Structure 1
């Protein structure tokens, strides 16, 4: 299995199952609304189905998956309105993390952001979606983690895990969109290097608006089907 984000590194069987399912979501193997094959996942791990169901119950609590009698577990399907609401909440949380974290960034932190951006570009060229996703998350979370507010970072991470696979489905497929997004990352890192909080927040808002605008078409088209 490819490298996982540090935030997703498993420490137990249940956590390993959770990471496995999240990877399937992020790589587009499991699509919104699709039924999750509990038995198949159990076979992947060489275990019986109950531990898989227990892990999926955690994702159900996070609203990443849903469950219904006789229908089993399915990937939660968000409307664009739902997605927009979650992004609005994430924007508020991230802005606070940026305000607290950017002034505390070290030169090593900036180097880490640059390194992860370069990994994204290399992974994109190699068509390695998982590494691209890993590097994207790691880059963005550097200033959040620098805030020193672990609970705040955990909340931001929770919202990313709830919505990140939508970015893969509706944004990462277009080369032109990815090119713009990568250039936006350069600007964000440069503003972080200057410890310019206001510019980082403004650039993040621009980055998010760009993504939302391009994702809206695909999500609303799916809703009409």
Structure 2
């Protein structure tokens, strides 16, 4: 994740707040429907509530949080239908991004992918879910950014961000962490061999595994509400 810099080259207070909130949502510290206490977040980053409030407005525009009158901001809970639609849109866009990107793959890209896979494997052993999620995101966007289609890549990124609150649930299971790492190695092997459609099929199964897991979590929650 990149940070916008101020005039002195350092991240602005708003970007620090935004990065911090994203991390708290990604690691599950801030769960769906949980109220976000702006004063507490401000204390955690040693800032005033003003940049926190501006960061929350950004997250609201992205669909990650919502404002509830008389209660403030909450992490937005997605229903099963919304999650399924999000992953369906991801499949459509990511499949095309890989096809557009494949003529631009080179040794430098594969070295970068290998480095992110190594980071993920270390994070899995250490049960560092945030580091694993961040490396996973970098792994995938190394591929999508080679498409040369920045607007498509930005839209894919927005779809990813809208489900950040649910990603920690998937990585919390040791078997899921192992599966993700193995699937990444299969995807890279297919891409190295020039088997682009095979890699796309592997990526679809990769997403489908996450969807199936989330379905088992979200469906009972919807039934109980």
TM-based fold match above 0.5: yes
Query: In 2, distance between residues paired with 1:30 and 1:164?
Result: 11
> Could you state the TM-score of these two structures normalised by the residue count of structure 1?
0.92
Aligned to 2:199: 200
Aligned to 1:183: 182
Aligned to 2:210: 211
Q: Deviations over 1:73-125 (max 9, x none)?
A: 00000011111111111111111110111221111101111111111011111
2:28 pairs with 1:34: no
> Could you state the TM-score of these two structures normalised by the residue count of structure 2?
0.92
Query: In 1, distance between residues paired with 2:123 and 2:3?
Result: 20
Cα pair distance change 1:71/1:22, threshold 3 Å: same
Q: Report matched runs for 1:51-200 at 5 Å.
A: 51-169=51-169, 171-200=170-199
Unmatched 5+ stretches in structure 1:
1-6
- Aligned partners of 1:33 and 1:77 also within 8 Å: yes
Unmatched 5+ stretches in structure 2:
6-11
Q: CA RMSD in A?
A: 1.4
Q: Deviations over 1:149-196 (max 9, x none)?
A: 112111111111111331212x11211222222211111011111232
Query: In 1, distance between residues paired with 2:26 and 2:172?
Result: 13
- Aligned partners of 1:10 and 1:19 also within 8 Å: no
Query: In 2, distance between residues paired with 1:74 and 1:8?
Result: 24
- Aligned partners of 1:102 and 1:196 also within 8 Å: no
Secondary structure of the residue aligned to 1:66 is strand
TM superposition shift of 1:10: 4.3
Query: In 1, distance between residues paired with 2:116 and 2:189?
Result: 14
- Aligned partners of 1:66 and 1:76 also within 8 Å: yes
Q: Report matched runs for 1:2-17 at 5 Å.
A: 7-11=1-5, 12-17=12-17
- Aligned partners of 2:64 and 2:76 also within 8 Å: yes
- Aligned partners of 1:191 and 1:197 also within 8 Å: yes
Secondary structure of the residue aligned to 1:74 is strand
- Aligned partners of 2:30 and 2:36 also within 8 Å: yes
Aligned to 1:4: none
TM superposition shift of 1:16: 1.4
Cα pair distance change 1:165/1:69, threshold 3 Å: closer
Deviates more, 1:201-210 or 1:48-57: 48-57
